[in-house]
Amino acid sequence: MFIRIEKASGVPISRQIADQVRAQVMSGAVLAGHKMPSIRELARELAVNQNTVLRVYEKLTAEGLLDRRHGDGTYVGVRPKTAKLRGQRQQFKDELSQLVRRGQMLGHDAGQLHELLEAVIVKQASTPISTTTTENKP
Amino acid sequence: MTTPAIQLTSVRKDFGSHRVLKDVTLTVPTGETFAFLGRNAAGKTTTIRMLLGLLKPSEAPGEAGGSGGSVRVLGIDPAVHPLTIRGRVGYLAEDQQMYGWMRVEQMIRFMAPFYPTWDHDLAKDYLKRFDLPAWTKIRHLSKGQNVRLGLLLALAHRPELVILDDPALGLDPIMRKEFNRDLITHLQGEGRTVFYSSHLLYEVEPIADTVAILHNGVIVKQAGTEALREQVKRIVLPKQDYDRLETPAGLLDLAQRNGEAAITLEDPGEVIASLQASGTSYRVVDLNLDEIFEAYVAGDTESKQVEETV
């Protein structure tokens, strides 16, 4: 698993790590049962506080993405149940409302916003983002 | 409750008529990596010298309170028991001077007798892990090797608390990252307390549990590194909507241009809620640690108007 930290970014480091692990697990790039690096190893590799990595692992474990086995290590879990994603859904909704607000500031009315969204959905549906969306391929 | 590794209470320090530290209060719990931030000449090194018992707080006769505050390191007053403190604390100075004519190995043997708890096997172990050439003269070491030797000398007596005064100064990015890795593995990994002064914020952020900002002689902010990110936000909104707002509590900086106002503030929840309630259009900007630091030490809450030069 490759993780990259961007220093001096507006995004906190724990969120940077969590987002990248989540993206790789959700897209199927890393499969269930894959052993994650230990907290010490990952902290050393990224030159990041061990407590930060620990918090990320705990958070992702609570989401069901990771499975911490006591005395053994941390593994990629089976796919998280959708209920666990409520937090991310809410965040997505917030981001979307901000985006809509910016669109309104640019002078787009409701009809135009619908058109734009429709166009993006059509475009995305024809480009697979991971192995799980291949059924959408024409 | 366990004794914190460092406890400063209302510490004051004058040099002649110049008051460097006005009222410094901070607590460093045992086992934490604590980043001590401030601009050049903010008083970081003065504070560190007090932690080591090299300086005492100034008395303030005739003023309320009278005393210059209290300094406790590992529960001890370093000004009263400086040798005890120096035996239990590891210290890496900002621009440490070592005898250039000594070989690395000689330097280690020279330092050992100063510390009753010196662990020579550990020193040899660090020598290997830090990849230091034992038979090279100190004046021929690279800057990075010099800092690692300083760290070895600061750690070989197994101190409970390690004080680092801008250790990464003058190291290139790769050496800084290596230095941080050593810190994570050899200090955090072993549960030791680290007090790390720096003004390179983006270097410190990934490794610090807690951040304190020293400005104008007082600690203007102490918070968990991630919590600080959550607590301080910038909100951009139309100027006329800002003018209708009461000056928000916790305002750190205000800038206006092109009919927009950008306010940087602590705990923005209330302001955001009231903006939402009134249907004002606004956007919340996440700030990086440099910007947060700037808001605290150079923030301007007067209604400054930035002139646009077209």
ipTM: 0.77
For residue B57, count CB atoms less than 10 angstroms from its CB and return exposed for 0-12, middle for 13-18, buried for 19 or more.
buried
Tell me: the pLDDT tens digits for A57-99? 999 998 888 888 888 889 988 765 554 566 677 778 888 988 8
A113, containing H or E segment: helix A110-125
Tell me what pLDDT residue B275 has. 87
CB contact under 8 A, B188 and A98: no
Fold of B6-216: Rossmann fold (3.40.50)
Which of A9, A13, A49 should we substitute to test contact with B (largest number of B Cβ atoms within 10 Å)?
A49
How far B71 CA lies from chain A's nearest CA (Å)? 27
> Quick check: A52 pLDDT over 90?
yes
Residues A75, A77, A78, CA angle at the centre, nearest 5°?
150
Mean pLDDT of A1-12: 85
- Report the alpha-carbon distance of residue A60 to residue B180 in Å, rounded: 25
Q: What is the pLDDT of residue A112?
A: 92
Residues of chain B with pLDDT under 50: 308-310
pLDDT for residue A133: 39
Say what the pLDDT of residue A129 is.
56
Beta bridge partners of B284: B235
Q: Would you list the domain boundaries of chain B?
A: 6-216, 229-298
Rounded Cα–Cα distance for residues B256 and A11 (Å)? 25
How big is chain A by its Cα radius of gyration, in Å? 18
CATH of B229-298, one of 1.10.4190, 1.10.10, 3.30.450, 3.30.70: 3.30.70
CA–CA separation, B150 and B92 (whole Å): 6
Interface of A with B in 57-96 (CB under 8 A): none
% of chain A at pLDDT higher than 70: 85
Do A8 and B287 make contact, defined as CB atoms within 8 angstroms? no
